[in-house]
Amino acid sequence: MGLYDSVFTLIDLRSFSNLWFWIVLAVTWSVASHYVIGVPFDMVLRARRQGGAAMADLEAMVELQLRRRTRIFTSGGVWLVGLWAGLLTVVSLLGFWYRIEFAQAVSLLAVPLTIVMALSLRLTARLRAERPRAEALTRRLTWHRLKIQIIGVLSILVTALWGMWHNLSLNVLGT
State pLDDT tens for residues 38-60: 999 999 999 999 988 999 999 99
Taking residues 63-92, report their average pLDDT.
Answer: 92
Q: Where are the alpha helices (DSSP H) in the chain?
A: 3-10, 19-34, 41-50, 52-96, 101-130, 134-169
Residue 154 makes CB contacts below 8 A (sequence gap 6+) with 112
Q: Give the model's confidence band at 175: pLDDT under 50 very low, under 70 low, under 90 confident, else very high.
A: very low
| Residue 110: how many other CB atoms lie within 10 Å | 17
| Residue 96: how many other CB atoms lie within 10 Å | 14
Domain range list for the chain:
17-162
| Burial environment of residue 38 by CB neighbours within 10 A (0 to 12, 13 to 18, 19 or more) | middle
Task: Return the pLDDT at 36.
Answer: 93
Q: Give the model's confidence band at 7: pLDDT under 50 very low, under 70 low, under 90 confident, else very high.
A: low
Do residues 34 and 138 lie in contact, with contact meaning Cβ atoms separated by under 8 Å?
no
Do residues 144 and 36 lie in contact, with contact meaning Cβ atoms separated by under 8 Å?
yes
